[in-house]
Structure 1
Amino acid sequence: MRFRISRPSSPSAPLPREESPIPAPAAAAPPAAEAPLSDHEIALIRASVAVVEPLAQEMTVYFYAILFARYPEVRPMFPPGMDAQRGRLLRALLRIVDLVDDTEGLVRFCGHLGRDHRKFGTLAAHFPAVGECLLAALARYAGPAWNQDIAAAWTKAYGAIAQVMISAAEEDEAVRPAVWPATVVHRLSRGHGIAEITVRPHIPYEYAAGQYVSVETPWWPKQWRYYSPANAPREDGTLTFHVRAVPGGTVSDALVHRAAVGDVLHLGAPMGDMVLDAAVHSDLLCVAGGTGLAPIRALIEEVARRGGRHQVDLFLGARTGAELYGVDDMLRMAQRHHWLTLRGAVSHEHVPGIRGSLPQVLAEYGPWYQHDVFLSGPASMVVSATETLTLHGTLPDHIHHDPFETPVLSAR
């Protein structure tokens, strides 16, 4: 399939997300709507990325250095510390290259980026400058492998991407704000470095159970991290986040150890398509590891709100019994709802009950090929569980999880 320009898909179904601004398309004007990338141009783009990938860290340092030197007006859009941002740039770039021959996926991903970048103050006028510096960095680190044909292919592709991102941002601006202030109204320590933070947005905040939200704290301006609300939408409009403080995690540490009632956070637009409406079966398998329980809990609340029209098998996993987070809450929910079955699994401790990793336990209790599956937890668990489920007959289209750059998969 070749990449052909089209209007962005619905904002309700974005693909993976980046938490800070990334280079946008090149300075050249966007190509005509009917000008797809050829197979040859796609091959040139992928070959050039293969050349620069071993030098990716150095390339991203160079990119930001020339961007800030040539266009200092964009520097305030970024956080003071750039280490994490450089990694996000690389992952976004690789994701774009991976999707370059997938029209629907690429348009959806770039539409997501365009909408999400509104919270940084990104304007259409920024795109040419950032794209110019990205191509300069690619050319420098590709060395002799860079030529006019490769430059033309990148310019064409990123011009197209700019068109999608700008259109998506403009459409989003017409229907909702870029940022929602939200006051902390409740805080509860859950132990093991986890805090339950409840906020009330100052203006209505619409989201679906299972989606994730970017959060900015007053202590680390311009540093956004993603967390999943642990509740389905409530009448009072509040959202509850379960945040684990992780080593080196500036935002998570601030939320767990500094946030107090009355503090004002900022929320970005809700994202993600791990939502109940994605299910095609009436039987659901929900699998949560650690604070990955948050979006799963929200989905189960949503099933209850809809009258329990699904049968839900819930598996919670942890290394030790003490780390089996949230099990008491879910037991109470299982007692209230006949359609919910709960099982807990511990992998590194001999305790009463099920022992083993979540993928091992899923294989033992399956098959699950007649279920929609919702996975949330560490990336290694999600990958392994997906492999186990597909091996035993579950169709990939029926397995739903967050992208690997988001809340419970990579929260700092």
Structure 2
Amino acid sequence: MSAIPADLPTPTTDEDPKPYPALHLTDEALLHASLLRLLDGRDDRAARLASLRVLGSAYRGLGWRPWHAAPIGAALLAAPGVCLRRAWRLVERTAARVSDGPAWWPAEVIGHDRDVDTIAALTVRPLRRLPFRAGQAVPVCTPGRPGRWRWLSPANAPRADGTVEFHVRALAGGSVSGSLVHEVRPGDLLYLGPPAGSGLELAGGADDLLLVAGGTGLAPLRALVEQVAEAPVGRRVTLVVGARTFADLYDAIALDKLQQAYDWLRIVPAFSDDPEAPPAEQGTAIGLAIHHHRPGQHVYACGPPAMLAAARRWLPIAGVPADRLHLPTLGQR
């Protein structure tokens, strides 16, 4: 293919401590599709940031320079020149903020489970270890939707075997999330971009934690629980898990195992529309979080937009200081 100029360097020698994938056909097609999707302009802000994260790393790792814009642009015939120049500047600025490393990691799907019809838990094994921290977000792209990068947060702290678990809800109009839930199967290959801070990384110290999850917002908070388990340092953790009814609660088996394994962990279900739930479990996730909040806790909340809006409004009123309230800064779809 002609999308990538032949003179772009690809440092893959044994002496390079950070090798990059060679630009074989699949890599070239993925890079071409990512550029086209960015220029298309139809993605929301979060998806554009995910694409820029990947393209900025490609720019840095492949040694792109301003004079490469013209040959790349010549291959993108559908893109107006002014749009290409604007996108190129965005990619350049992103490249200045990312660290050295691959633009993406191919990852094989080794597990695909659906506790709830619209939610899937995917376990993937990157062909090279993905360097991420609990609470971070990762751009993810499917072969069926090349160039469409979406943020997902690992549901686990880094594992010895290098596998990563993602929780995905199929959203209306979300082609990537729908593909991950309904189309992807074990043996398929996904692409993972460079991890990024999401605002949910664990604060230092040994302060207790109050974690508030709604929907697949549970994923990064479960990863924080696993991180604490590796070095509890006297912390106590309360995890409030919101769902509409008991039937809508997913990942229940994993949560039950965590509850049984650690005496410093308390898991509180919050059912907003289930009259058969015990009184102590009836209410919204934010409402029950306010009830369980104690001074000195760091509070992390992750979930759908309505829940996060309630968190921004009510948790400060309930006495959570601004420097102890942690909300996601990246979206997913």
TM-score, normalised to structure 2, is 0.75
Deviations 1:340-372 (A, max 9, x none): 011111112212222111222223333x34111
**Which one of the candidate residues 241, 255, 263 is aligned to 2:188?**
263
Show CA shifts across 1:104-151 (max 9, x none): xxxxx9xx98654335769552889999837x99xxxxxxxxxxxxxx
- In structure 1, what is the equivalent of residue 285 of structure 2? 358
Match of 2:42 among 84, 90, 94: 84
| Contact map agreement 2:133 2:158 (CA 8 A) in 1 | yes
CA distance in 1, matches of 2:282, 2:139: 35
Whether 2:241 is the aligned partner of 1:241: answer no
Deviation at 1:84, TM superposition (A): 3.4
Q: Which whole-Å deviations, capped at 9, do the CAs of 1:296-327 have from their partners, x for residues lacking one?
A: 11110111111463100110111222112223
Correspondent of 2:317 among 377, 384, 391: 391
Number of residue pairs the alignment of both structures matches: 289
RMSD: 3.4
Matched, 1:253 2:191: no
Secondary structure of 2:97 counterpart? helix
Partner of residue 302 from structure 1, selected from 211, 227, 231:
227
Larger Rg: 1
Normalized per residue, the structure richer in helix is 1
For residues 32-51 of structure 1, the C-alpha deviation after alignment (integer angstroms, 9 at most, x for no partner) is xxxxxxxxxxxxxxxxxxxx
Distance 1:77 1:227 in 2: 20
Q: Aligned partners of 1:322, 1:75: CA distance in 2, in Å?
A: 39
4+ runs deviating over 6 angstroms: 126-132
> Structure 2 matches for 1:1-400, cutoff 5 A?
77-79=35-37, 82=40, 84-85=42-43, 87-88=44-45, 115-118=53-56, 123-125=64-66, 133=82, 164-169=93-98, 172=99, 175-307=100-232, 309-353=234-278, 354-366=281-293, 368-400=294-326
List runs of 5+ in structure 1 lacking aligned partners. 1-73, 93-108, 138-157
Seen in structure 2, the aligned counterparts of structure 1 residues 115 and 311 have a Cα distance that, compared at 3 Å, is same
Q: State the SS of the aligned residue for 2:242.
A: strand
Q: Residue 255 of structure 1 aligns to a residue in which SS?
A: helix
In structure 2, C-alpha distance between the alignment counterparts of 1:357 and 1:335, rounded to whole Å: 24
The letter of the residue matching 1:200 is R
Distance 1:77 1:164 in 2: 15
Counterpart of 2:157 in 1: which secondary structure? coil
Counterparts of 2:256 and 2:139 in 1: how far apart (Å)?
A: 29
Alpha-carbon distance between aligned partners in 2 of 1:197 and 1:114, rounded to the nearest angstrom: 24
Normalising by structure 1, what TM-score?
0.62
3-state SS, counterpart of residue 213 of structure 2: strand
Partner-residue secondary structure (3-state), 1:221: coil
Q: Secondary structure at the match of 2:323?
A: helix
Q: CA deviation at 1:178?
A: 0.9
Partners of 1:132 and 1:82 lie apart in 2 by 13
Task: Please report how far the alpha carbon of residue 242 of structure 1 lies from its aligned counterpart in structure 2 after TM superposition.
Answer: 1.3
AA aligned to 1:395 is P
Q: Is the 8 A contact 1:217 1:251 kept in 2?
A: yes
Q: Percent identity?
A: 34
- The code of the aligned residue for 1:118 comes to G
SS in 2 for 1:211: coil
Distance in 2, matches of 1:115 and 1:243, equals 20
Change (3 A) 1:195 1:306: same
Q: Is the 8 A contact 2:135 2:201 kept in 1?
A: yes
Q: Which runs of 5+ in 2 are unaligned?
A: 1-31, 74-78
Q: 1:8 maps to what in 2?
A: none
Query: 3-state SS of the aligned residue for 1:78?
Result: helix
| Alpha-carbon distance between aligned partners in 2 of 1:199 and 1:386, rounded to the nearest angstrom | 33
- Alignment match, 2:20: none
Deviation at 1:281? 4.9
- State the shift of 1:329 in Å: 2.1
Summarize the Cα distance change of 1:280–1:216 in structure 2 as closer, same or farther, 3 Å threshold.
Answer: same
Q: Distance in 2 between matches of 1:297 and 1:275?
A: 11
| Kept in 2: contact 1:215–1:224 (CA 8 A) | yes
Deviations 1:269-300 (A, max 9, x none): 01124455424452000010011111111110
